[in-house]
Amino acid sequence: MPISTPSDPVPATDTWTTQPGLSPGTPVFVGERKLDQARIQILDYTRARLDEYNDVNSDDCRRLRASDSVTWVNVGGLHDVGLITEIASVFELHPLTLEDIVNSTQRPKVEEYDDYLFIALKMLRYNAERNAVEIEHISLILGQGFVLTFLEDGGDVFDAVRRRIRLKKGRIRGQGPDYLCYALADAVVDHYFLALEQFGDYIESLDEAILDSPQTSHIQEIHRLKRDAIRVRKAVWPLREEIGFLDKSDSPLIAPETGIYMRDLYDHIVQTIEMVEGYRDILASLHDTSLSTVSQRLNEVMKLLTMIATIFIPLTFIVGVYGMNFRHMPELEWSWGYFLIWGLMILIALGMVIQFKRRGWW
């Protein structure tokens, strides 16, 4: 894919370092490399035809961009900054957009530029082995006649959308790039529900385990889940405002009939946020409950043991008394002294047990 060096708005690659004070708009890949090799996949379609390309150069891109069809360029792998810079120059992206695409710590946002819309999203995926939610950075760009998507990995998130395009299912083939953009965002948000439901199920199972027999390790697990919930919240929360802004925006890139879908997307995001907030509330309550349950079971044990000790204390005193070596201890001489003492001790023990039971301590 040998193309000419990037044109003016994109800085030269040799300036790509990470120190602050860097010229704004300098793209620096931040994150861990999830694919060995960055991949580009293009779907170009109208209602009538569909072309797929897997190996393209920038001239192809330029040509497809110019065509009347809807062009969807999907880039997997954000570490190949050179490749992404090329694409950016073909589609005339602003340097700041370029910086946001490759920075996987970028928070979700929607930005209107003169001739395109930039949407940064997070993908949530539940890792059932680690019982943790994994977060990935996704960028969508909606322009005149094209949609660009940038993912950290190959992007099976979008497989279902791809299938719908190929099979002409639903209304997607007859619609413009705005609908495609919505469908892609919707696919991402649908995954949120999937991930959050699994997360919720795990909390549920933890809840049951704790009510059953709380353990110290549960406290630490709850702490871990709380941190996860904080991370997920940070990934989803900003979207509310941003997609709401999109809903109200009058960008010429979004047809009025797509607006209704945007509202639906907004609605889903709000529901996601409510789920996360609900989990946080439940985890907080669970922490308190598990803590108090653990500590109260412990206390109950201590109380029982202490009562046992308390019963024996006077008995041990009594046997001590008759272990004394005084010359004159009349009881010692009595024939039935020993047995009388046993009787006394049994009476005392019984009396204490009865007392404890009556007070509801035992």
Site for a copy of itself in 201-220 (CB under 8 A): 211, 213, 216, 219-220
Question: Least distance (Å) from a copy of itself to the CB of residue 199?
Answer: 15
Exactly one of 3, 31, 107, 131 binds a copy of itself (CB under 8 A); that residue is: 107
Contacts of residue 187, Cβ cutoff 8 Å, sequence gap at least 6: 157, 158, 160, 161
Q: Looking at beta carbons only, is 57 or 351 nearer to a copy of itself?
A: 351
Residues between 137 and 166 with contacts to a copy of itself, criterion CB under 8 A: 157-161, 163-164
The answer to whether residue 358 forms part of the interface with a copy of itself (CB under 8 A) is no
Exactly one of 138, 140, 222, 232 binds a copy of itself (CB under 8 A); that residue is: 222
Question: Least distance (Å) from a copy of itself to the CB of residue 35?
Answer: 21
The answer to whether residue 28 forms part of the interface with a copy of itself (CB under 8 A) is no
The answer to whether residue 353 forms part of the interface with a copy of itself (CB under 8 A) is no
Q: Looking at beta carbons only, is 37 or 313 nearer to a copy of itself?
A: 313
Q: Looking at beta carbons only, is 61 or 117 nearer to a copy of itself?
A: 117
Question: Least distance (Å) from a copy of itself to the CB of residue 1?
Answer: 26
Bridge partner list, 139? 120, 150
Q: Looking at beta carbons only, is 64 or 181 nearer to a copy of itself?
A: 181
Exactly one of 1, 230, 347, 354 binds a copy of itself (CB under 8 A); that residue is: 230
Q: Looking at beta carbons only, is 61 or 203 nearer to a copy of itself?
A: 203
The answer to whether residue 347 forms part of the interface with a copy of itself (CB under 8 A) is no
The answer to whether residue 240 forms part of the interface with a copy of itself (CB under 8 A) is no
Q: Looking at beta carbons only, is 147 or 172 nearer to a copy of itself?
A: 172
- Determine phi and psi for 110, rounding to 5 degrees: -125, 130
Q: Looking at beta carbons only, is 44 or 207 nearer to a copy of itself?
A: 207
The answer to whether residue 115 forms part of the interface with a copy of itself (CB under 8 A) is no
Q: Looking at beta carbons only, is 50 or 291 nearer to a copy of itself?
A: 291
Q: Is 32 exposed, middle or buried (0-12, 13-18, 19+ CB in 10 A)?
A: exposed
The answer to whether residue 357 forms part of the interface with a copy of itself (CB under 8 A) is no
Question: Least distance (Å) from a copy of itself to the CB of residue 138?
Answer: 14
Three-state secondary structure of the chain: CCCCCCCCCCCCHHHCCCCCCCCCCCCCCECCCCCCCCEEEEEEECCCCEEEECCCCHHHHHHHHHCCCEEEEEEECCCCHHHHHHHHHHCCCCHHHHHHHHECCCCCEEEECCCEEEEEEEEEEEECCCCEEEEEEEEEEEECCEEEEEECCCCHHHHHHHHHHHHCCCCHHHCCHHHHHHHHHHHHHHHHHHHHHHHHHHHHHHHHHHHHCCCHHHHHHHHHHHHHHHHHHHHHHHHHHHHHHHHHCCCCCCCHHHHHHHHHHHHHHHHHHHHHHHHHHHHHHHHHHHHHHHHHHHHHHHHHHHHHHHHHHHHHHHHHHCCCCCCCCHHHHCCCHHHHHHHHHHHHHHHHHHHHHHCCCC
Segment interacting with a copy of itself (CB under 8 A) among 45-53, 59-67, 69-77, 336-344: 336-344
Residues between 40 and 79 with contacts to a copy of itself, criterion CB under 8 A: none
Question: Least distance (Å) from a copy of itself to the CB of residue 261?
Answer: 6
